[in-house]
Amino acid sequence: MGIVESRRAIQQAEAVTKLAHLAFLFVPLTYITSIFGTNINVSPLEHVPLPPPRHTSLTHISNLGIPK
């Protein structure tokens, strides 16, 4: 009875060791991906609306007639 329990304990210890190795790999990777996955507003000009295309095209057309 004692030998069976000790063998089972050894198998469980080996399984926990494998789990610890996987955790050693995946826990830091999870932390790193959570940092890169955060939405950070880097540029304050990111939400500035661009002028509509008709205004920019009118500007380009009017600049064609001005001599340099």
Residue pLDDT, tens place only, 22-57:
999 999 999 888 888 777 766 666 666 666 665 556
* pLDDT recorded at residue 63: 58
pTM of the model: 0.47
- Does 53 reside within a domain? no
The residue among 31 and 1 whose pLDDT is bigger is 31
In whole angstroms, give the CA distance from residue 65 to residue 8: 89
Domain residues for 14? Answer: 1-38
- Does 15 reside within a domain? yes
In whole angstroms, give the CA distance from residue 41 to residue 35: 14
* pLDDT recorded at residue 65: 62
- Does 68 reside within a domain? no
Residues in the chain: 68
- Does 48 reside within a domain? no
Q: Is the pLDDT of residue 21 over 90?
A: yes
